[in-house]
Structure 1
Amino acid sequence: MKYKKIILAGGNGYLGSVLAKHFSSIADEIIILARKARADEGNIKSLVWDGKTEDRWVENIGDADLWVNLCGKNVNCRYTKKNKEEIINSRVLPTKLLNNILERLDNPPKLFINITSATIYRHAEDKPQDELTGAVGYGFSIDVCQIWEKTFFETTNPKTRKIALRMGIVMGRNDGAFPRLLNLVKVGMGGKQGDGEQYVSWIHEQDAAQSIEWLTDHTEIEGAVNCTAPNAVKNTEMMKILRTAYGMPFGLPAPAWLLEIGAKIIGTETELILKSRWVKPAILLDSGFKFQYGQMEEAFHDILSLRV
């Protein structure tokens, strides 16, 4: 096996499931730290934690090759005071907890990855934002990213590399954005959202998993790393690609005013749809990483062909 032990903190969600499946065939043991117990699946085991306090689970996370922290309340909600506090705390508290343990471990992981967000960059329609020259934006979601990454990098262990992996929108068949976009297309609502000029930085779920494996091998890489496909597309183009892949000849657009009404009804924020995220994975590309799905057409055809 390539790895002895991998820890996925908050790994019961969509991306955690993708990573557990990917690494289970090349690791002796996968341990998921989750708030709810679940049955073991082969070499994938689950330990209960609350993300705030140390308990017996601490005894099992040493001597690992890789820690991945995936904790964080879904931002798909209204930004009320209560939700804002929960969004921040659900990210910062588990990160602090893992950092505290990391500091004093004699056998810490070789690599500790914190899954953060590519939304940290400004609204960009003029040029892509990379790790070296990209400009940080403003607003609540950006504030969350900055607090999160600052907390992550506050403590170190000389035996452990740290990477804040700025993840784009993960596209896959079972959960996340893709099934929801497909549902819009199916009912004829798969047109552009807003003016459609906003860029979407995305990544196929398999490239997300393989990029993490790549980073374990490339010990020269640390710090903030963008994890998005190299070819961001405008919202108008994304919806057209999906309609074409599915075979739907038309899609009604959703203007910004209608999105605002809909967002209030379903309890979300239009920022999640209308912000232009044009992000370039410069560090991954410069290190030689080859994206299996660099073009959205390839990614959507693959996902649709494998949907059950």
Structure 2
Amino acid sequence: MNIAITGGTGFIGEHLTKTLTTRGHHVYILTRNPKKAEENVTYVKWVTDDSAPESSLPDIDAWINLAGKSIFTRWTRKNKDAILTSRIQATREVKRLIEANEKNPAVLIQASAVGIYGTSIENTFTEDSVTSNEDFLSHVSHKWEEEARQIESLGIRTVYTRFGIVLGANGGSLLMMKLPYIFFGGGPIGSGKQWLSWIHVDDACDLIMNAISRQDISGPLNITSPNPIEMNELGRSIGSAMGRPHWLKAPAPLLQLALGEMSMMILKGQRVLPKKALLQDYNYNFPHINEALDNLIQS
């Protein structure tokens, strides 16, 4: 298949590109800074004044829209505007490019986040749960999905991949999580009881591949492990995998001072289950955190 990816040079996008090309698909990565073509990968310039990506794209069988400014930055008003605006503008450009082609793709994989459910210590969320609009992350996720519904209205099967925290060896959140343990300073964060809905990057990519190939998958799809954990358990597991102690508490007020509003990402959480993936009998490569960390840290 010909598969277009926006945000293809990011952490998830790079892993996904390798997964797709290994399985024989040709990937078109839309980027501001295209590189020389590689085997089964073509880079296409987009969202610049001198770009015309529609002239470089063949018929696309599947679109994967991951594009947007990273949320791992201090949430100043300027950065919050950029986080939301980048996602809206990228999704609108995807719609324009789809409409510029005579043939619609069979499927749109639209990125979103489990943050759309809001935060809770007590509640468990699935794809059937009512979404929230209580904080910045849930607001951004709502707006992002709303924009993608304009593409779905063209008659394109659309899957809203609601990502949890994606763990990988060479990028993503795990690098930041490991840092205090490298210096023997890891320990409980805040109360330690906040839930973390996580997934190994290999499973995230496989679930996306599954969503592309299966005609019966549409609408929200939680990209998470079936075994979310509390932050304190995660820290102990990281310490164990690294052979480091888990002892130095990071108080919530200190994190709020250091990170500002973004601290909610680690001080609050949500327990999200991948109901659709389980009903489809998806076989996770790394269903448990210890298995995932052993693979990512010790390999």
- Give the TM interval when normalised to the shorter protein: over 0.9
Residue in 1 that maps onto 2:117 = 121
The letter of the residue matching 2:277 is L
Residue in 1 that maps onto 2:30 = 33
Q: Are 1:269 and 2:262 counterparts?
A: yes
SS at match of 2:125: coil
Residue in 1 that maps onto 2:81 = 85
For residues 201 and 53 of structure 1, the distance between their equivalents in structure 2, rounded to whole angstroms, comes to 39
Residue in 2 that maps onto 1:202 = 198
The letter of the residue matching 1:273 is I
2:104 to 98, 101, 108: 108
For residues 80 and 269 of structure 1, the distance between their equivalents in structure 2, rounded to whole angstroms, comes to 9
Contact 1:77 1:269 in 2 (8 A): yes
SS at match of 1:272: helix
Change (3 A) 1:104 1:56: closer
Residue in 2 that maps onto 1:283 = 276
Contact 1:168 1:203 in 2 (8 A): yes
Unpaired segments ≥5 residues, structure 1? none
Change (3 A) 1:187 1:21: same
Contact 1:11 1:34 in 2 (8 A): yes
Contact 1:65 1:110 in 2 (8 A): yes
For residues 205 and 77 of structure 1, the distance between their equivalents in structure 2, rounded to whole angstroms, comes to 21
Query: 1:126-178 deviations in whole A, cap 9, x for unaligned?
Result: 13201112442501111111111011112336662111100111100000111
Contact 2:181 2:245 in 1 (8 A): no
The letter of the residue matching 2:78 is K
Farther-moved stretch of structure 1 (169-178 vs 35-44): 35-44
The letter of the residue matching 1:272 is M
How far does residue 305 in structure 1 lie from its aligned partner after superposition? 2.7
For residues 70 and 186 of structure 1, the distance between their equivalents in structure 2, rounded to whole angstroms, comes to 31
For residues 267 and 132 of structure 2, the distance between their equivalents in structure 1, rounded to whole angstroms, comes to 17
Q: Are 1:23 and 2:20 counterparts?
A: yes
For residues 104 and 299 of structure 1, the distance between their equivalents in structure 2, rounded to whole angstroms, comes to 42
How far does residue 60 in structure 1 lie from its aligned partner after superposition? 3.5
The letter of the residue matching 1:40 is A
1:169 to 165, 171, 191: 165
For residues 158 and 271 of structure 1, the distance between their equivalents in structure 2, rounded to whole angstroms, comes to 36
Point out 4+ residue stretches in structure 1 off by more than 6 angstroms: none
Give matches, 1:215-234, under 5 Å. 215-234=211-230
Q: With the length of structure 1 as denominator, give the TM-score of the two structures.
A: 0.91
For residues 197 and 128 of structure 2, the distance between their equivalents in structure 1, rounded to whole angstroms, comes to 17
For residues 124 and 87 of structure 1, the distance between their equivalents in structure 2, rounded to whole angstroms, comes to 23
For residues 194 and 13 of structure 1, the distance between their equivalents in structure 2, rounded to whole angstroms, comes to 29
Contact 1:103 1:156 in 2 (8 A): no
Contact 1:115 1:167 in 2 (8 A): yes
Contact 1:95 1:151 in 2 (8 A): yes
Contact 1:62 1:108 in 2 (8 A): no
The letter of the residue matching 1:128 is T
The letter of the residue matching 1:32 is I
Residue in 2 that maps onto 1:236 = 232
Contact 1:102 1:157 in 2 (8 A): no
For residues 159 and 55 of structure 1, the distance between their equivalents in structure 2, rounded to whole angstroms, comes to 27
How far does residue 54 in structure 1 lie from its aligned partner after superposition? 9.1
Give matches, 1:58-69, under 5 Å. 58-69=54-65
Identity %: 28
Contact 1:103 1:157 in 2 (8 A): no
Query: 1:170-226 deviations in whole A, cap 9, x for unaligned?
Result: 100000111111121111222111011100011100001100111122111111111
Farther-moved stretch of structure 1 (161-170 vs 52-61): 52-61
For residues 134 and 173 of structure 1, the distance between their equivalents in structure 2, rounded to whole angstroms, comes to 33
For residues 192 and 239 of structure 2, the distance between their equivalents in structure 1, rounded to whole angstroms, comes to 15
Change (3 A) 1:285 1:141: same
Contact 1:123 1:137 in 2 (8 A): no
Contact 2:241 2:298 in 1 (8 A): no
Q: Are 1:302 and 2:295 counterparts?
A: yes
Alignment RMSD (CA, Å): 1.8
SS at match of 2:5: strand
Residue in 1 that maps onto 2:286 = 293
For residues 46 and 8 of structure 2, the distance between their equivalents in structure 1, rounded to whole angstroms, comes to 11
For residues 5 and 27 of structure 1, the distance between their equivalents in structure 2, rounded to whole angstroms, comes to 10
Q: With the length of structure 2 as denominator, give the TM-score of the two structures.
A: 0.94
